[in-house]
Amino acid sequence: MLLLDLSPARDAINTIVKDPLVSVVQCDVTDFHALRELVSTRQVTEIVHTAALLSTAIRKDILAGVRVNVMGATNVLEVARQLGVERVVLASSTIVGYPAFGDLKGEFFPEDFPLKSVANRPDSIYAATKVTVEHLGLLYRDLYGVSTVSLRYAAVISAWSGPGTSVPGRVLSMLVAAARTGEAAVISDPFMVWLGSDEFIDARDCAYANVAALDAAAPRHSAAGWQWRGNGRHLRIRDAVRTVSRNLSRGKCIFGRRSSRPAIPRSINGRFTSAQLPGMIPLGSVAQ
Ligand SMILES: NC(=O)c1ccc[n+]([C@@H]2O[C@H](COP(=O)([O-])OP(=O)(O)OC[C@H]3O[C@@H](n4cnc5c(N)ncnc54)[C@H](O)[C@@H]3O)[C@@H](O)[C@H]2O)c1
């Protein structure tokens, strides 16, 4: 098993899995030839593609974001096509559905949800790259027979010690650090605050879902080739603060927001949760 990353956090990775089960290799996913060489010489048969720049990083460098997210994924798909890789699982996000949340009725968010191309357009360049990569995955499947699945992760949280760029992960780390010292956690960046409720997923449940997507004989929802992955519960930012306070803080955890700029709107409105993968019950919770 190979783990490729532009700058692998080897110490943090070693706390989870060690050589020789996984060999950690430095590789830039935007370098097509290096990627092809590795997949070919190491006889890779299946790929889970997660490398990306997330929203905060893309705001700092748009060209790099589009290059890594769109060209990186295209490189993975093209290598898979050329070398006959058996399955590619692409990391997508519930962000592709955020603009349509308010329009839907029912309990679960359908994979093939109606999307108005203008009114429901992606609301960030990050979201646009994720929508694009889902379509590239489907096209590589339909036109070239590459077996692809896109997993739409809810907001991922974990207690991993390595670097992380996800908004909820960073918010929780900030709250936990503040709760441990008894100091106030002040969140001043409006992009770190979500309005309404959102759905979350423990990173370990994400990992299990990826393995299930690799192993599935014929991925469910084969027409769409997409899967939503969340823990089926909604969380407001104040719930995150309360959870941290209840579980960690001897004193109290104070949440402050010093900005007049609007927070990120999330109109998920507590009704919809992801359809679950058959037979998979999420193990992780925010409290953990
Ligand atoms: N974190 C979330 O809440 C969330 C939610 C939905 C979907 N996702 C998706 O899950 C995937 C993983 O997200 P994450 O939270 O682990 O992000 P992360 O930033 O923690 O990890 C991304 C990894 O990609 C690597 N990377 C960046 N550029 C690279 C390049 N050119 N070549 C090789 N590696 C490169 C980084 O070094 C980093 O280790 C992403 O595709 C993301 O869009 C994340």
Is residue 284 assigned to a domain?
no
Is residue 120 assigned to a domain?
yes
Is residue 286 assigned to a domain?
no
Is residue 70 assigned to a domain?
yes
Is residue 214 assigned to a domain?
yes
pLDDT digits (tens, 9 = 90+) for 23-42: 999 999 999 999 999 999 99
pTM: 0.84
Q: What local confidence, expressed as pLDDT, does residue 130 receive? A: 96
Is residue 24 assigned to a domain?
yes
Residue nearest to atom 13 of ligand 1 (CA): 50
Pocket test for ligand 1, best of 71, 133, 156 (most atoms within 8 A of CB): 156
Mean pLDDT of the chain: 78
Residue nearest to atom 29 of ligand 1 (CA): 6
pLDDT digits (tens, 9 = 90+) for 204-226: 888 888 888 898 876 554 444 44
Nearest Cα residue to 244 out of 181, 192, 155: 181
Distance CA(91)–CA(95), nearest Å, equals 12
Is the pLDDT at 269 greater than 70, yes or no?
no
Q: Decide: helix, strand or coil at residue 10.
A: helix
Is residue 282 assigned to a domain?
no
Is residue 278 assigned to a domain?
no
Pocket residues: Cβ below 6 A from ligand 1: 5-7, 28-30, 50-54, 68, 72, 91, 93, 153, 155-156, 164-166, 168
What's the whole-number mean pLDDT along residues 238-261?
56
CATH of the domain at 172: 3.40.50.720
Q: What are phi and psi of 102, to 5 degrees?
A: -65, -20
Structurally, how many domains does the chain consist of? Answer: 1
Q: How far is the CA of 68 from the centre of ligand 1 (A)?
A: 10
Q: What local confidence, expressed as pLDDT, does residue 218 receive? A: 63
Domain span holding position 256: 2-269
What's the whole-number mean pLDDT along residues 132-153?
93
What's the whole-number mean pLDDT along residues 149-172?
77
pLDDT digits (tens, 9 = 90+) for 177-211: 777 777 777 776 767 766 666 677 778 888 888 88
Is the pLDDT at 174 greater than 50, yes or no?
yes
